[in-house]
Amino acid sequence: MTNNKRKNRGNKNKEVTMTPSNEKDTPIQDYEDDDIEEMQEADLKKLIRTLRSSQKQILELHKSLMDKIENLSRENEILRRNQNETKQLVQQETVIVTEVKNSIDQMKNTIESLTNRMGEAEERISDLEDREQERIQSDQRKEEEIRNLKHIVGNLQDTIKKPNIRVLGVPEGMEREKGLEGLFSEILAENFPGLEKDREILVQEAHRTPNKHDQKRSSPRHVVIKLSTVKHKEKILKCAREKRQIPLRGSPIRLTADFSSETLKARREWRDIAQVLRENNCQPRILYPAKLSFVNEGEIKTFHCKQKLKEFVATRPALQKMLKDVLHTETQKHGHQYERR
């Protein structure tokens, strides 16, 4: 029995001593208390070293696991913080996007309101332009009516004044002895003896114009003689044109037809042109009531307005050269008058 026990112990000892050269890889074996008692001292020391090495490995492994757990905790905290920050950023972006959307909606509403107001303003402007155009057309019609009325009134005045003769240059007060009718008879007797004996020439009315004498006026007022017929007036004026110089008691006077203010204005507008034509021997005359007549290339030409004259002059190079300056001046005058209006 004792020998068998020793053999068994020897076998157990052999089992204990059968350890690989690398202690780190040696697995930890389970030992019974009886086995440990029967172990040799060397085997015990070896076992202790193995246990200590295993304990050290376990501690290192534990430490490594704790470090990893700590790192994971930190990473988890960082992730949690990042998630919170991301949530905050998302919330902020959501607020910003909402504000932007609200701002865009407000801008859209503002633009729509402005567009509507612009449309209303354009309608008002269009309405005002239409009204202005209507006013301009109305003013043009009124101006045309006024011109027509002035023309009609001028024609009526010219018709009424057609038998009249206007005497210019008679000194103030000379009519005190004989009166204006007696002075006119004296003019006929002194300058046209044949006409003075014509009993058919009758003076219906004689007066000065204007009626009231202005003391500041240097020239005497005109004398207007109204005859019974137009034929007698034209006969007297024809004789006056032929004689040219008409004196009255040594003072030069002038006999002309009596016209309305509009006709006088129209006749004056021919004055500069007639002067140039007279200087070039074109025999200009201003016919009743305000027509220009002159001789061109052996023919008598008559014009009622300057536009017709300009159209005719454009076809006559010599006449165009003659009247170039005066017609250009007239065009400038009309341009300045239009600008002032």
Q: Identify whether 26 is part of a domain.
A: no
| Residue 5 domain-assigned (yes or no) | no
Contact predicate 266/289, CB 8 Å: yes
pLDDT on residue 214: 66
Same domain, 109 and 88: yes
pLDDT at 33: 57
φ, ψ (nearest 5 deg) of residue 29: -95, 155
Q: Are residues 104 and 144 in the same domain?
A: yes
Say if residue 320 is in the same domain as residue 297: yes
Q: pLDDT at position 104, please?
A: 92
| Mean pLDDT confidence for 9-34 | 46
Please indicate, yes or no, if residue 23 is contained in any of the structural domains.
Answer: no
pLDDT at 197 over 80: no
How far is residue 235 CA from its own chain's centroid? 62
For residue 145, tell me if it sits in a domain.
yes
246 and 316 in a single domain? The answer is no
The alpha carbon of residue 4 and the mean position of all alpha carbons in its chain are separated, in whole angstroms, by 132
pLDDT at 4 (0 to 100):
45
pLDDT score for 332: 53
Note whether 244 and 277 are same-domain residues.
Answer: no
| 253, containing H or E segment | strand 251-257
Residues 236 and 282 in one domain: no
State the DSSP string of 254-304.
EEEE---HHHHHHHHTTHHHHHHHHHTT---EEETTTEEEEEETTEEEEES
Residue range 265-283, pLDDT digits in tens: 888 889 899 999 999 999 9
282 with 254, same domain: the answer is: no
281 and 313 within one domain: yes
- Cα–Cα distance measured from residue 273 to residue 278, given in angstroms and rounded to the nearest whole number: 9
**Residue 51 falls within a domain, yes or no?**
no
Per-residue model confidence (pLDDT) at position 25: 47
Query: 154 and 189: one domain?
Result: no
Which is more confident, 259 or 36?
259
> Does the pLDDT value for residue 39 go beyond 80?
no
Q: How confident is the model at residue 22 (pLDDT cuts 50, 70, 90)?
A: very low
Overall average pLDDT of the 39-59 stretch: 82
Structural domain including 145 reads 63-160
Q: Are strands 251-257 and 222-227 parallel, antiparallel or unpaired?
A: unpaired
Q: 132 and 199 share a domain? A: no
Mean pLDDT of 247-251: 89
- Residues 262, 259: Cα–Cα separation, whole Å: 8
Q: What is the pLDDT of residue 312?
A: 92
Determine, yes or no, domain membership for 55. Answer: no
* Cα radius of gyration (the chain): 67
The domain that contains 273 carries what CATH number?
Answer: 3.30.250.20
What stretch of H or E contains 286? Answer: strand 285-287
Measure Cα distances from 150 to 264, 286, 303 in Å.
Answer: 13, 21, 21
Of the residues 160, 181, 202, the one at which a domain ends: 160
Confidence of residue 336 (pLDDT cuts 50, 70, 90): very low
Residue 103 in any domain: the answer is yes
Closest CA to 289 of 253, 265, 255, 309: 265
Domain CATH for 246: 3.30.70.1820
3-state secondary structure 123-154: HHHHHHHHHHHHHHHHHHHHHHHHHHHHHHHH
One domain, residues 323 and 254:
no
In the beta sheet, which residues pair with residue 254?
A: 168
For residue 37, is it within any domain? no
Lowest average pLDDT, out of 1-5, 102-106, 255-259, 315-319, goes to 1-5
Binned at pLDDT 50, 70 and 90, residue 1 comes out as very low
Q: Residue 329 to residues 273, 285, 336: CA-CA distances in angstroms?
A: 10, 21, 11
Q: Is the pLDDT of residue 225 over 90?
A: yes
CA separation for the pair 294, 330 (Å, rounded) = 19
Name the domain count of the chain.
Answer: 3
Domain end call among 160, 175, 199: 160
CA distance linking residue 191 with residue 243, whole number of Å: 8
Residue 23 has pLDDT above 80, yes or no: no
pLDDT tier at 177, thresholds 50, 70, 90: confident
